[in-house]
Amino acid sequence: MPTREQVNAELARRHFYDFVVQSWPVLHPTIEFTDGWHIGAIAEHLEAVTRGQIKNLLITVAPRHTKSVLASINWVPWAWIDNPQETFLYASFASHLASDHSVKARRLIESDWYQRQWGDRYQLTSDQNEKMKFENDKTGARTAFGMGGATGQGAKFVIVDDPHDIKDWTSPKKMQTAIETYESSIYNRANTPNDPRRVIIMQRISDRDLAGHVVKMGGWEHLMLPTQYDPARSSVTSIGWRDPRKESGEILCPARFNEEAALAEKKRRPRIYAAQYQQCPSTDEGAIFRRGAWQYYRDDPEGMVARMQFIIQSWDMAFKDSATSSKVAGQVWGRIDADFYLLARVSEHLDFVASIAAVQRMSAAWPEASAKVIEDKANGPAIINALTGKISGLISWPPSGTKMDSKTARAWAIQPFHEGGNIFLPHPTICDWTEEFVELCAAFPDGEFDDDIDCMTQALAYLSQSLGYAAPEGVGKTRGWRI
């Protein structure tokens, strides 16, 4: 008669879900296991990859729903019970995450619980037992990298767990770099091209992220687990699995993230909620500043000075230059009649001294910008004091006695200029920072950095006060340089 422990061990060997449940106290002795049907769904699909029923699997699910525990920690120890010869290659956007998952997977294998049940099946080799890589004596191996570090390596199973830093959704270049890295350095790491086993598991951050890319490419099974059920996007996967929820809006795992928490998050950060929680980054078009409403020009910005009626600088300062603090944003704007043109931009983490130097450099590069409008916050007043007598046209904003509206209210105040096609940016072929600027504006008010938007709203508020003035004859009359 088998003991309870032997029965449990056999269940864990046969079913990945049972293995996850039983191993939880070993990995997290002080944290109670929160079960949910989504854990079984992820486990079932990873089992299908193990058996070869699914070759390319994409899993998208909200943060803090145990995805990495299954895919990056438990999967190798479970697969090696019956197939210790299998090789796994893992990549993540940050090497420290890849290392942490690798260490936990190894500790699980070395635990008393695991060794009692399956310690006779293989042994970890002492000559290759490191944080980022370990092997067993049956030729199995688990190797981990940060994104881009897999050159020269190969494995039967190639897994990417969170390919993007969540902050990168405001940077098309960073997202494109991650996609190019995956296509050139990770996708082709499968040792058996005729029988590949690839997994990407992540939360959506943008319609331009790696998940969006592989969906467009085709050939991937997509297990999509939105926090709130959306019947219109529900589908049956190739192994016959279907989302068990019936009612629209039904929560994925109420014990972990209930309806009240979901609605609060949705109200507070609608764009982020749509992407990371609903796996549907459709609101990336922009909550206030829509991507499609921007106008562009193609001429060299410096060559356009003679066309402008007014040119100003606008500055949004910061207190410190820490990478986690706000950035210093500086912009040069010009106006022709009712249209506004962004001519130059600075966006950096700068301390007090470096901020002063940045204003001086911009003033030297754009002497036509007579007004230097600096927000009366953070280092702004001190910088005005430091530069008084050295640079002319320093203006504190808002005017004395004027109450400053909220950031969002200021953005909505200039939104009609944007929606009406009155704001022009240098075309991305002219300035390499234009796409980033557009993404930051689309992200507002949910993005990490809003300094560019504050700087822009300040500039346009100042320039819009002068709309009644006339331009010299002929200035700005030829518009062929706009597109």
Over residues 136-161, the mean pLDDT reads 88
Confidence of residue 254 (pLDDT cuts 50, 70, 90): very high
What is the helix (H) or strand (E) element at residue 423, kind and residue range? strand 423-426
pLDDT exceeding 70 applies to what percent of the chain? 92
Angstrom distance (rounded) from CA 425 to CA 483: 10
Which structure tokens are listed for 269? Answer: 């950060």
Over residues 235-249, the mean pLDDT reads 94
Which structure tokens are listed for 465? Answer: 């006060």
Over residues 153-163, the mean pLDDT reads 93
- Is the CB of residue 52 less than 8 Å from the CB of residue 197? yes
Residues linked to residue 341 through DSSP beta bridges, in sequence order: 334, 424
Contacts of 446 (CB under 8 A, 6+ apart): 269, 270, 271, 272, 287
- Is the CB of residue 339 less than 8 Å from the CB of residue 422? yes
Angstrom distance (rounded) from CA 474 to CA 472: 6
Distances (CA, A) of 13 to 19, 21, 43, 250, 467: 7, 12, 13, 33, 74
Over residues 237-261, the mean pLDDT reads 94
Confidence of residue 152 (pLDDT cuts 50, 70, 90): low
pLDDT of residue 447: 66
Which structure tokens are listed for 459? Answer: 């500039």
Confidence of residue 469 (pLDDT cuts 50, 70, 90): very low
pLDDT of residue 480: 58
Angstrom distance (rounded) from CA 367 to CA 161: 50
Q: Give 361-378 pLDDT, tens digit per residue.
A: 999 999 999 999 999 888
Q: Give 77-136 pLDDT, tens digit per residue.
A: 999 999 999 999 999 988 888 889 999 999 999 999 999 999 999 999 976 667 889 999
pLDDT of residue 334: 95
Angstrom distance (rounded) from CA 370 to CA 312: 6
User: Which ranges of 64-145 does DSSP label H, i.e. alpha helix?
Assistant: 67-68, 75-82, 95-110, 112-118
- Is the CB of residue 312 less than 8 Å from the CB of residue 464? no
Q: Give 43-52 pLDDT, tens digit per residue.
A: 999 999 999 9
Strands 310-316 and 157-161: unpaired
Most confident of 139-143, 188-192, 407-411: 139-143
**3 state SS of 234:** coil
Distances (CA, A) of 290 to 211, 284, 446: 23, 8, 14
Which structure tokens are listed for 123? Answer: 């042994």
The DSSP 8-state label assigned to residue 164 in this structure reads S
Reply yes or no: is the peptide bond before residue 398 cis, omega within 30 of 0: yes
Over residues 450-467, the mean pLDDT reads 88
Please name the residue that has the structure tokens 């109450």.
403
- Is the CB of residue 17 less than 8 Å from the CB of residue 39? yes
Over residues 204-232, the mean pLDDT reads 93
pLDDT of residue 399: 81
- Spell out the domains of the chain, with CATH numbers in brackets: 4-285 (3.40.50), 291-464 (3.30.420.280)
Angstrom distance (rounded) from CA 16 to CA 22: 10
Is this prediction's pTM over 0.75? no
Of residues 321 and 22, more confidence is placed in: 22
Instruction: Return mean pLDDT, the chain.
Output: 89
- Is the CB of residue 73 less than 8 Å from the CB of residue 213? no
Angstrom distance (rounded) from CA 182 to CA 351: 36
- Is the CB of residue 80 less than 8 Å from the CB of residue 136? yes
Which structure tokens are listed for 325? Answer: 């603090």
Of residues 323 and 21, more confidence is placed in: 21
Using the predicted structure, report yes or no on whether residue 313 has a pLDDT greater than 50.
yes
